[in-house]
Chain A
Amino acid sequence: MKFSYYPGCTLKTKAKDLDRYARAACEALGVDLAELPEWQCCGAVYTMAKDEIASKLSSVRALASARDLGTDLVTLCSACHNVIKQVNNDMRTNADIALRANNYLKLDTPYTGETNVLHFLEMLRDRVGFDALKAKVTNPLTGRKIGAYYGCLLLRPSKVMAMDDAENPTIIEDFIRAIGATPVVYGMRNECCGGYVTLENKGSAKKRSSAVLESAKSKGADTVVTACPLCLYNLKKNGGTDGVDVVYFTELLAEALGVK
């Protein structure tokens, strides 16, 4: 099973754990995750304006590169995933954006949204299969009570992300079951952590993050998992609820597969 892989800038710097545990887990699962030979930062947030073209080009380059390699494109960071999937949708459905982006890039073959983009979790669910994953677990995390933190970017806008039900998701809970732990469902699991506004208004990010962690704690979670470096930062730094650990889901995956 071979995929192109787009790690993104933060996974090469402050979020190395998100990346290295994913790679270790893929080796254990027999998944060939091949980093794109060249890639640029996705820009971290999708630019919603219809006349924003330049800010979408780095995503188009990554998408076209995966197409030329004949592979699906796997992303891991929630933000990269959101940006790249939304830009892919623009290239497929918005003729004006596609025309202007292609006029600029002058690719050998114009790009019109052909690449299939999968989040790492979708790759586990839809290609590896959670049952097959469960069968490869050597160190089940029995007894751990884990809250899935979806945040905003994995699920919304649901028409484009099409990963799961945006209001009642199950993909991370199913993942948690597959590695032998008990999922804890809590109200704030798909609400925002405060995001980049931590730079503009720390108080806002503190309120958002502590509301998420308090919600998880009130339902008995000992750990919260995320796929997003900025969520991890906000929950740990601005959330400040004692007794709830915040980790990348890939760390628990590697632990369960005995490759941590």
Chain B
Amino acid sequence: MSHDKKQAQLDEILAASGVDVRKCMRCGKCTATCPAFDEMEYHPHQFVYMVEKGQIDKLAASPSIWQCLSCFACMERCPRQVEPAKLIEAVRLSVIRAKGANHLKPEEIPALLDADLPQQAITSAFRKYSK
């Protein structure tokens, strides 16, 4: 990707998330409280400084972005109101908004169903993983 395109992608992520990455003081409280911590290659506090450094490609290619539970714990407990979950969401959107890049496809759903699975789970997953 050209430098201009990379900058445009970064600007879009920052604008869509509304996050000011410079407010982060690297205390790690977001990562300490993240219930999906064990499942992630890059953790919430790393997300913040990777975006600050413009390392979007690495983040976008990481399976970590699909592990966020959207539980709002990191947002609630951040002492500086950085709100890392909003960055994770914006990076994920920058991936799935590209044509053909949906992480969850409708044809995969039947194999994932069981008799008790609530509709809410499927709807949520589509919102988070597909456009």
Alpha-carbon gap, A166 to B33, bound state (A): 14
Q: Which of A23-31, A175-183, A188-196 sits within the interface?
A: A188-196
- List chain B residues, Cβ under 8 A from A208: 35, 69
Alpha-carbon gap, A128 to B112, bound state (A): 41
Q: What is the chain A residue whose CB lies nearest that of B36?
A: A204
Q: Which of B73, B116, B117, B128 contacts A191 (CB 8 A)?
A: B73
Q: Which of B75, B121, B123 contacts A41 (CB 8 A)?
A: B123
Alpha-carbon gap, A196 to B125, bound state (A): 6
Alpha-carbon gap, A48 to B72, bound state (A): 10
Q: How far is the CB of B96 from chain A (nearest CB, A)?
A: 11
Known: A195-B124, A196-B124. A156 touches B16 (CB 8 A): no
Interface residues of B in 32-46 (CB under 8 A from A): 35-36, 38-39
A: number of interface residues (CB 8 Å): 47
Q: Which of B1-9, B23-31, B54-62, B86-94 sits within the interface?
A: B86-94
Q: Is the interface of A mostly helix, strand, loop or mixed?
A: loop
Contact A48 B120 (CB under 8 A): no
Q: How far is the CB of A207 from chain B (nearest CB, A)?
A: 7
Contact A200 B125 (CB under 8 A): yes
Give chain A's interface residues, CB within 8 Å of chain B: 8-10, 13-15, 41, 43-52, 55, 77, 79, 151-153, 156-158, 166, 191-192, 194-201, 204, 207-208, 228-230, 232-233, 236-237
Q: How far is the CB of A190 from chain B (nearest CB, A)?
A: 9
Q: Which of B69, B75, B93 contacts A157 (CB 8 A)?
A: B75
Q: Which of B76, B86, B93, B119 contacts A166 (CB 8 A)?
A: B76
Q: Which of B72, B118, B129 contacts A156 (CB 8 A)?
A: B72
Alpha-carbon gap, A128 to B89, bound state (A): 38
- List chain B residues, Cβ under 8 A from A201: 39, 66-67
Subset of 22 A-B contacts with CB under 8 Å: A8-B120, A10-B118, A43-B127, A44-B120, A44-B127, A45-B70, A48-B70, A55-B127, A79-B120, A157-B76, A191-B73, A192-B71, A195-B121, A196-B69, A196-B125, A198-B121, A200-B129, A204-B36, A204-B67, A229-B120, A233-B118, A237-B114
Known: A44-B127, A230-B124. A192 touches B86 (CB 8 A): no
